[in-house]
Amino acid sequence: MKMNLSRREMLGGSVAALAAVNISSAAPRADEDTSFHLGVASYSFRKLSRADAIKGMQALNCRYINIKEFHAPLKSTTAELEQARKDFENAGIKILGVGNVSFQNKDEGEIRRNFEYAKTLGAPVIVMAPTHETVPLIEKYVKEYNIKAAIHNHGPEDKHFPAPQDVMKAVKGMDERMGFCVDLGHTARTGTNPLDALKLAGKRLHDIHTKDLADMMNKDSQVAVGDGQMPIPQIFQYLIKTGYKGGVMLEYEINADNPLPGMQKSFAYMRGVLAGLKA
């Protein structure tokens, strides 16, 4: 028997098999009636096709996603984006946002295309990486499209917005739809307590990328959520208390070739935390 399968076929087959097992035995999700939504930043599935990413979401029993362009390219036609949206929605998956999208150029045509991209996909939020120069232009389109701008901080390496405090300086006094995607891991690496960052964002908190670190100052120490030092119970308790209604999106950046085991472990932990908070 010939067993010379391609890497893509092996990935697809393993995801499909895992999805079938998990769908048939899925327990009720502990996050169903919380104010916020546990979801996935699709960067976690960057080496999988859209179809396999959807199977991965089904394996996780997760219905909320933030789409990275791996699964709906920015340069797609309107028809192609409509099909991408349909693919996710037909699988019972709600698109809570798109991104991370680069807003590095002071080109209003490009900025408008990015907002049209989000609009066509039905995304109420764009997670973005702008510059200080493009932020005022972005506000103009936030008002026109009524799509929230969630500026993503990328830690010490980010020359524009390393920490949430830098985002606040840029959007202070602007429309409240100009706000934050607080990346918990990158925030911790700047020496900022992630919980303090969420409190700083306040009503401008539009998205959260969650991850865990064994060493809160080391980018390369990422582990499954629950295996590191991130204060997830305190963070979730705060989000519930304040009535945050956005996404808490797992951005699992390790084990790109086989992300599902670590992602499943992360979701099991996060759902366990939520169940404990509601008990």
Cβ count near 2 (within 10 Å): 4
**Position 33 confidence tier, pLDDT thresholds 50, 70, 90:** low
Q: Which residue has the tokens 């996060």?
A: 270
pLDDT at 220: 97
DSSP state of 47: T
pTM of structure = 0.89
Contact 124, 147 (CB under 8 A): yes
The pLDDT of residue 15: 44
Q: Is the pLDDT confidence value at 2 over 80? A: no
Q: Which residues lie closer than 8 Å to 221 by C-beta, 6 or more apart?
A: 213, 214, 215, 228
Domain 29-278 is classified in which CATH homologous superfamily? Answer: Divalent-metal-dependent TIM barrel enzymes (3.20.20.150)
Residue 157 has pLDDT above 80, yes or no: yes
Q: Given a cut of 80, is residue 21 above it in pLDDT? A: no
Contacts of 124 (CB under 8 A, 6+ apart): 96, 97, 147, 148
- Supply the Cα-derived Rg of the chain in whole angstroms: 18
pLDDT in tens, 199-248: 999 999 999 999 999 999 999 999 999 999 999 999 999 999 999 999 99
State the CB neighbour count (10 A cutoff) for residue 9: 10
Query: pLDDT tens digits for 255-276?
Result: 999 999 999 999 999 999 999 9
